[in-house]
Amino acid sequence: MRALGLVASPEALAAPDYHPPHAGDLAVTGRRGKSVVILGAGIAGLASAYELAKAGYRCTILEAKDRVGGRNWTVRGGTTLTDLDGRTQTARFGRDQYMNAGPARLPQSHLTLDYCRELGVPIEPFINQNANALIYNERTGAPVQQARTAKADVYGYVSELLAKALDQGSLDSRLSGEDKDRVLTFLSGFGAIGSKADGYAYTGTDRRGYTVEPGAAGEAGTVLGPPPSLTDVFAGQVGRYVSFEFGYDQAMMMFQPVGGMDGVPMALYRAVGADKVRLGAEITKLTNLPGGVEVAYKDKYGKSQLVKADYCIATLPPHIMARIPTNLDPAIASALGFPTVTPVGKIGLEYSRRWWEEDDRIYGGITETDTDLAHVWYPSYGFHGKRGVVIGYYNTGGSANTYGALTPESRLERALAQGAKIHGEKYKQGLLSSFSVAWQRTPFIEGGWVGWPSRTSGQYDLLNKPAGRVYFAGDWLSYFIAWQAGAFDSARYAVTGLHQRVLAGG
């Protein structure tokens, strides 16, 4: 029977690893797949339907937008957006040009890559760190410099300081003589500092870069130098961002789907079946009944509709879900209103020339700034092509609100003025088109992501349990918020709980 797929493997439901629902699980208990209505066709909603379908559950997804994917949204030529302020934009990007307005990078450890593999979504490297990208600290007045230069100076001076302290015996209570030697050997390589005879001084090396590159015959190159003083390096705060790449989920290698991040939801959509998804369906009421659920919605023609199902998986953002009338315990609505919402913005700038590659030799990666642009991303696709889309800002919080409050034209103007401080006047030249998103002003989403003021005060646990026949899922119910992997894993969690309940006769 197991060979025929009619029996669950005994360890299937007990193992901590994920085991997708299987038709055999139901067959062995003599039960049939139930019907499930899923609210939201973002990653959590699509993944829930995809996983449940593996065991033959009948799913219907209700999605308020006219597309699937939620925040996983790739903007291409012709893509339109009307925001909550009634501002409509239509992207004019050229062929093969796009911007990932939401998620845009995938760490190697994340479940999202497993889904890419399973669904056949091709991936390519995403360049998250680039030694040739820039550091721009406006507030300290430090000169614009390559990340490699900032790193060389910060690691160099820190190594010098520590080597001197060791040499002077300041850390003798902590280190044996052998330890000291080993740490000094490490520092010599890490910081490229001088020898004991040189007082372990950091004086700069070619790690900082060159003003004239080495070449043939007599051209030995001219090293960029000397480094600014230790005081200036730290006063300039150029090291403010260099530890970013140590982050567990921000370290290279990183990946992106070839052709746009929406390759992920589109593959899920195809797998689930377009006939299972009702687009333009705005939920108006959710009723939990003793034997099922009832969801009322307004369809794309404005007509009231009702769906009945055995169960519901609600994957809307919590702050949106909190507003939908339900007959659930009021504690649920209050818990849904508990997370705080982070505003997030991005602008795509399409240029007729890849000046960042041609002039600045920046092939992908991110320039870090302390301005309201926050991060400037160079594309990790289309190298040496004719055009390219730079992400002119990727910001959060107050900066995202500043740009979000502006018209798309004013956002562009401000982003160009700010970017020109880093890249010069060419930043304003050869611009073909632009498109910006302020997630907090985007209908049915209204935020970039959320944060829990506390995960131990009850609300998080409450929503990770079913409320009657209603399950909740989304990145916001995981420990990796603002990552698709969180949405995938949360969907798996809800699906597993639901399936176990059905197997148990619930």
* Residues in 380-409 that interact with ligand PHE by CB under 6 A: none
Query: Shortest gap between Cβ of 106 and ligand PHE (angstroms)?
Result: 9
- Nearer CB in complex with ligand PHE: 293/482: 482
Query: Shortest gap between Cβ of 340 and ligand PHE (angstroms)?
Result: 15
Q: Does 57 bind ligand PHE (CB under 6 A)?
A: no
* Position with the least CB separation from ligand PHE: 482
Contact 427, 390 (CB under 8 A): no
Q: How far apart are CA 90 and CA 264, in angstroms?
A: 23
* Residues in 285-304 that interact with ligand PHE by CB under 6 A: none
What is the per-residue binding string for ligand PHE in 458-497, x denoting contact by CB under 6 A?
------------------------xx--------------
Query: Shortest gap between Cβ of 151 and ligand PHE (angstroms)?
Result: 20
Q: Are strands 58-63 and 277-279 parallel, antiparallel or unpaired?
A: parallel
- Nearer CB in complex with ligand PHE: 105/469: 105
What Cα–Cα distance (Å) separates residue 114 from each residue in 13, 21, 55, 68, 253? Answer: 20, 17, 19, 20, 15
Q: Other CB atoms closer than 10 Å to residue 139's CB: what's the count?
A: 9
What Cα–Cα distance (Å) separates residue 225 from each residue in 63, 179, 233? Answer: 57, 32, 13
What is the per-residue binding string for ligand PHE in 424-463, x denoting contact by CB under 6 A?
----------------------------------------
Q: Kindly report whether the peptide bond that precedes residue 261 is cis, defined as omega within 30 degrees of 0.
A: no
Size of the site for ligand PHE (CB under 6 A): 3
Contacts of 331 (CB under 8 A, 6+ apart): 462
- Nearer CB in complex with ligand PHE: 351/483: 483
- Nearer CB in complex with ligand PHE: 297/483: 483
- Nearer CB in complex with ligand PHE: 105/278: 105
Query: Shortest gap between Cβ of 93 and ligand PHE (angstroms)?
Result: 21
Query: Shortest gap between Cβ of 285 and ligand PHE (angstroms)?
Result: 33
* Residues in 253-282 that interact with ligand PHE by CB under 6 A: none
* Residues in 102-131 that interact with ligand PHE by CB under 6 A: 105
- Nearer CB in complex with ligand PHE: 381/483: 483
Q: If you compute the radius of gyration of the chain from its CA atoms, what whole number of angstroms results?
A: 27
Hey, which residues does 434 pair with through a beta bridge?
349
- Nearer CB in complex with ligand PHE: 136/377: 377
Question: What sections of 177-260 are H helices per DSSP?
Answer: 177-191, 230-235
What DSSP string runs through 223-238?
Answer: E--PPPPHHHHHHTTT
Q: How far apart are CA 79 and CA 84, in angstroms?
A: 17
Q: What are phi and psi of 289, to 5 degrees?
A: -115, 165
- Nearer CB in complex with ligand PHE: 312/482: 482
Q: Which residues bind ligand PHE (CB under 6 A)?
A: 105, 482-483
